[in-house]
């Protein structure tokens, strides 16, 4: 056993981190929040290669429910098991190992009511949308910052500060460092033992690297931000060789990452960014990666894969939601909604190009265009992700390295997020997807319409018939999505049937608009 002083230090560290609690060897149950993180630590063999030679799991039981959790080696002869209790009450555990000194360790964990801000992991809800485990709606408003955890510490801390003040509740970033345009520098830490840049022992992980990754995931969780972890990517070009590891190294890496990180409630798994650009991998490899992650993760965190020019088959059962790169799809809500019809899962357009001024065509959207794409995706019943690529003298570009946001879209995205959070708990559904009808909402209750680039002076009040009956009454607000204003329209609109498809105001009233682009209307039923 470890010395008491070492135990005490671990507890003091644990209670500060995202509901962490726990230590092995004490008779009393350890208390941890539901969906928090319990950690048990054990002294074990340090000789040989513990990463490859030692197997450790624990079975957690509560009545008839059981969860098998993999442990991991954390260096210096220390093995850890992390558990996130999915239900309140006491859980007992027993360890199993191929080494006798790690076998048969037992303990009890008591899961108590979650604290403020702890709603559990995000799940798919209502087919096309998301909610936390406690049922609280979750609308992903994400950004991309691929290599921020690999930058100098001052830039990383600046990124954390920026995120805390941003509208984003999800961030996509890579486990491996990135060797790409505007990002050709060595990271502070590497995931494997070895000699940079390319002499690695893929059988030995670097615990310091993964502790740093965990710190950042915990910080994100404390801010209410989901960590959408990109497990593989092609932006290596053989410089480090992490994009072309042998099969057994890939699989061992996935098992280790899941063992270390699955207990954090804010983790999502993205198998890759632009998976089809990784020439060393086959379609069968990607299927296998999904299945390894699914099998090793007892908590069933969300799983996706991001495309370059070739789409993965997102209908496969191990894909929880479709992560799509396609800027043109969200230039038109009618194109965006087609992905829902094909995959029958939540659609997240994680990459729709970037607001910025790079010479590359994917990196020079205007802020107006970025906001426009968010709104088009929203009324398609899908979700859109942000990215920013403004040139900076030291190449500290948000999309790759983080730092500060320089664009004008984030406050407008925050404005949209507030509107979404005031919408139906089930999420926005397209009202009449087979027509050029730019409305989403909940039929008969609330509607959000977006007129995009049109500069209209008025809108004839017209609603699709579904969910309506004559005499229903509605109030209307005009939304300026760029100037971030909401203006109530005087009076109440009472509907009557006009034809087989349409209800209109009984007095044939119209809604006045200011003759500018990027306007929207919100319509809500009143008694």
Mean pLDDT of 229-237: 97
Report the alpha-carbon angle 495-499-505, nearest 5.
20
CATH number at residue 30: 2.60.40.10
- Which DSSP letter does residue 162 get? H
Could you report the per-residue pLDDT of 366-384, keeping only the tens digit for each? Answer: 999 999 999 999 999 999 9
Do 33 and 174 belong together in one domain?
Answer: no
Domain assignment present for residue 511? The answer is yes
Q: Coil, strand or helix: which one is 480?
A: strand
CATH number at residue 461: 2.60.40.3950
Tokens of 323: 């992560």
Q: Are 85 and 111 in contact (CB under 8 A)?
A: yes
Average pLDDT, the chain: 94
Of 84, 112, 140, which marks where a domain is finished? 112
Do 206 and 320 belong together in one domain?
Answer: yes
Mean pLDDT of 173-180: 98
CATH number at residue 408: 3.20.20.80
Among the listed ranges 19-23, 86-90, 102-106, which one has the minimum average pLDDT value? 19-23
CA 465 to chain centre: 35
Of 354, 387, 421, which marks where a domain is finished? 421
Do 134 and 78 belong together in one domain?
Answer: no
Can you give the length of the chain in residues?
Answer: 527
Among the listed ranges 3-12, 316-325, 491-500, which one has the minimum average pLDDT value? 3-12
Of 388, 421, 454, which marks where a domain is finished? 421
Give the pLDDT confidence score for residue 385 in this predicted structure.
98
Do 308 and 415 belong together in one domain?
Answer: yes
Domain assignment present for residue 426? The answer is no
Strand ranges of the sheet holding 72-73, from the earlier edge strand across to the other edge: 20-21, 37-43, 78-83, 72-73
Pairing outcome for strands 347-351 and 355-356? unpaired
Mean pLDDT of 78-103: 98
How many angstroms separate the CA atoms of 31 and 21, rounded?
7
Nearest residue to 214 via CA among 178, 155, 152, 259: 259
Mean pLDDT of 361-365: 97
Helix, strand and coil percent figures for the chain, each rounded to 5: 25, 30, 45
Domain assignment present for residue 301? The answer is yes
Q: Which domain holds residue 90?
A: 4-112
Give the pLDDT confidence score for residue 118 in this predicted structure.
98
Do 436 and 408 belong together in one domain?
Answer: no
Give the pLDDT confidence score for residue 25 in this predicted structure.
45
Q: Are 147 and 173 in contact (CB under 8 A)?
A: yes
How many angstroms separate the CA atoms of 113 and 349, rounded?
34
Q: Most distant CA pair in the chain: distance in Å?
A: 84
Do 183 and 328 belong together in one domain?
Answer: yes
Tokens of 220: 């994100």
How many angstroms separate the CA atoms of 379 and 348, rounded?
13
Q: Are 351 and 377 in contact (CB under 8 A)?
A: no
Nearest residue to 438 via CA among 425, 426, 456, 421: 456
Give the pLDDT confidence score for residue 11 in this predicted structure.
30
Nearest residue to 232 via CA among 171, 293, 314: 293
Nearest residue to 74 via CA among 206, 189, 188, 250: 206
Do 133 and 232 belong together in one domain?
Answer: yes
Mean pLDDT of 147-168: 98
Name the domain count of the chain.
3
Domain assignment present for residue 427? The answer is no
Domain assignment present for residue 27? The answer is yes
Nearest residue to 427 via CA among 123, 154, 192: 123
Do 284 and 151 belong together in one domain?
Answer: yes
Number of other residues whose CB lies within 10 A of the CB of residue 229: 21
Return the percentage of the chain with pLDDT > 90, whole number.
94
What are phi and psi for residue 101, nearest 5 degrees? -70, -10
Question: In which residue are the tokens 């329209």 written?
Answer: 489
Nearest residue to 450 via CA among 428, 471, 472, 465: 428
Pairing outcome for strands 72-73 and 78-83? antiparallel
Q: Are 126 and 141 in contact (CB under 8 A)?
A: no
The CA–CA distances, whole Å, from 422 to 301, 396, 426 equal 26, 35, 11
Domain assignment present for residue 78? The answer is yes
The CA–CA distances, whole Å, from 326 to 192, 250, 372 equal 34, 28, 14
Do 20 and 63 belong together in one domain?
Answer: yes
Helix segments in 33-81, DSSP class H: 50-53
Do 319 and 452 belong together in one domain?
Answer: no
Do 69 and 143 belong together in one domain?
Answer: no
How many angstroms separate the CA atoms of 123 and 161, rounded?
27
How many angstroms separate the CA atoms of 391 and 371, rounded?
20
- Which DSSP letter does residue 164 get? H
Strands of 71-189 (E only): list them: 72-73, 78-83, 89-97, 106-112, 122-125, 129-132, 137-138, 142-144, 170-174
Tokens of 283: 């379609």
Could you report the per-residue pLDDT of 489-521, keeping only the tens digit for each? Answer: 999 999 999 999 999 999 999 999 999 999 999
Do 437 and 519 belong together in one domain?
Answer: yes
Domain assignment present for residue 460? The answer is yes
Q: Are 479 and 513 in contact (CB under 8 A)?
A: no
**pTM above threshold 0.75:** yes
Could you report the per-residue pLDDT of 38-89, keeping only the tens digit for each? Answer: 999 999 999 999 999 999 999 999 999 999 999 999 999 999 999 999 999 9
Mean pLDDT of 466-483: 98
Domain assignment present for residue 73? The answer is yes
Number of other residues whose CB lies within 10 A of the CB of residue 361: 9
Q: Are 450 and 437 in contact (CB under 8 A)?
A: no
Return the percentage of the chain with pLDDT > 70, whole number.
95
Give the pLDDT confidence score for residue 6 in this predicted structure.
31
Mean pLDDT of 168-194: 97
């Amino acid at each position: 056993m470890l010395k008491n002083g070492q135990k005490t230090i671990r507890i003091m560290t644990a209670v500060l981190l995202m509901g962490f609690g726990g230590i092995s060897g004490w008779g009393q149950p350890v208390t941890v929040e539901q969906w928090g993180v319990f950690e048990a630590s054990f002294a074990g063999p340090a000789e040989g290669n513990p990463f490859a030679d030692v197997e450790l799991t624990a079975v957690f039981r509560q009545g008839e429910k059981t969860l098998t959790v993999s442990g991991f080696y954390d260096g210096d002869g220390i093995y850890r098991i992390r558990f996130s209790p999915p239900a309140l009450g006491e859980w007992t555990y027993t360890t199993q190992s191929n080494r006798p000194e790690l076998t048969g360790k037992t303990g009890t964990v008591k899961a108590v009511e979650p604290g403020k801000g702890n709603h559990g992991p995000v799940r798919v809800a209502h087919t096309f949308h998301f909610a936390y485990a406690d049922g609280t709606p979750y609308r992903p408003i994400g950004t991309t910052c691929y290599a921020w955890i690999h930058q100098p510490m001052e830039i990383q801390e600046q990124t954390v500060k920026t995120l805390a003040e941003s509208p984003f509740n999800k961030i996509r970033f890579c486990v491996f460092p990135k060797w790409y345009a505007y990002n050709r520098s060595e990271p502070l830490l590497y995931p494997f033992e070895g000699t940079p840049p390319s002499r690695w022992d893929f059988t030995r992980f670097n615990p310091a690297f993964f502790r740093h990754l965990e710190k950042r995931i915990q910080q994100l969780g404390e801010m209410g931000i989901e960590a959408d972890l990109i497990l593989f990517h092609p932006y290596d070009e053989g410089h480090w060789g992490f994009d072309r590891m042998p099969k057994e190294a890939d699989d061992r890496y996935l098992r280790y990452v899941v063992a270390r990180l699955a207990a954090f409630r804010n983790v999502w798994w993205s198998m890759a960014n632009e998976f089809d650009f990784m020439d060393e991998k086959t379609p069968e490899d990607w299927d296998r990666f999904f299945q390894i992650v699914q099998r090793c993760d007892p908590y069933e965190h969300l799983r996706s894969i991001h495309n370059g020019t070739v789409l993965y088959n997102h209908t496969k059962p191990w894909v929880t939601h479709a992560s799509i790169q396609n800027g043109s799809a969200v230039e038109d809500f009618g194109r965006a909604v087609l992905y829902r019809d094909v995959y029958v899962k939540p659609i997240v357009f994680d990459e729709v190009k970037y607001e910025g001024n790079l010479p590359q065509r994917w990196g020079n959207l205007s802020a107006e265009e970025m906001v426009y794409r968010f709104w088009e995706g929203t009324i398609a019943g899908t979700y859109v992700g942000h990215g920013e690529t403004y040139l900076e003298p030291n190449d500290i570009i948000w999309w790759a390295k983080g730092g500060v946001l320089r664009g004008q879209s984030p406050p407008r995205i925050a404005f949209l997020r507030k509107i979404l959070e005031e919408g139906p708990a089930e999420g926005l559904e397209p009202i009449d997807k087979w027509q050029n009808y730019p409305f989403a909402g909940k039929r008969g209750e609330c509607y959000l319409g977006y007129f995009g680039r049109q500069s209209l002076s008025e809108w004839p009040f017209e609603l699709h018939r579904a969910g309506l009956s004559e005499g229903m009454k509605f109030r209307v607000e005009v939304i300026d999505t760029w100037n971030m204003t909401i203006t109530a329209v005087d009076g109440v609109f009472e509907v009557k049937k006009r034809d087989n498809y349409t209800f209109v105001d009984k007095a044939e009233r119209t809604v006045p608009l200011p003759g500018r682009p990027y306007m929207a209307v919100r319509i809500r039923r009143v008694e």
